[in-house]
Amino acid sequence: MPNIKSAKKRVKVTLIKTERNKAYKSALKTLIKNAINADEHEKENKLYVALKKLDQAVSKGIIHKNTAARKKAALVRKCKAK
């Protein structure tokens, strides 16, 4: 456990950011699954939402841009296959 006041604060901040990032990543996974399993009428809209959220995650620094590009390519491939 840290003794310095600023180090104690950094521990708290890190825990808060970790929880926020975990929740955001979980929501991303849910959106991706929803886009893959959507019926034909909703598929295009849900795909658009999932791709947009992936781009937003990159801009917020939650995931790396190459990871997002890989996930987007795989998602589009899976959606077109069904």
Distance CA 79, CA 47 (A): 8
Residue 72, exposed/middle/buried by CB under 10 A (0-12, 13-18, 19+)?
Answer: middle
Domain at 31, CATH number: 1.20.58.110
Q: How confident is the model at residue 37 (pLDDT cuts 50, 70, 90)?
A: very high
Counting the structural domains of the chain, the total is 1
- pTM given for the model: 0.84
Please report, as a single letter, which amino acid is at residue 48.
Answer: Y
Distance CA 38, CA 44 (A): 9
Q: How confident is the model at residue 81 (pLDDT cuts 50, 70, 90)?
A: confident
Half-sphere exposure of 45 (CA within 13 A, CB side): 5
pLDDT in tens, 57-72: 999 999 999 999 999 9
C-alpha torsion angle, residues 21, 25, 31, 32 (rounded to 10): 150
Instruction: Give the structural domain span for 68.
Output: 5-81
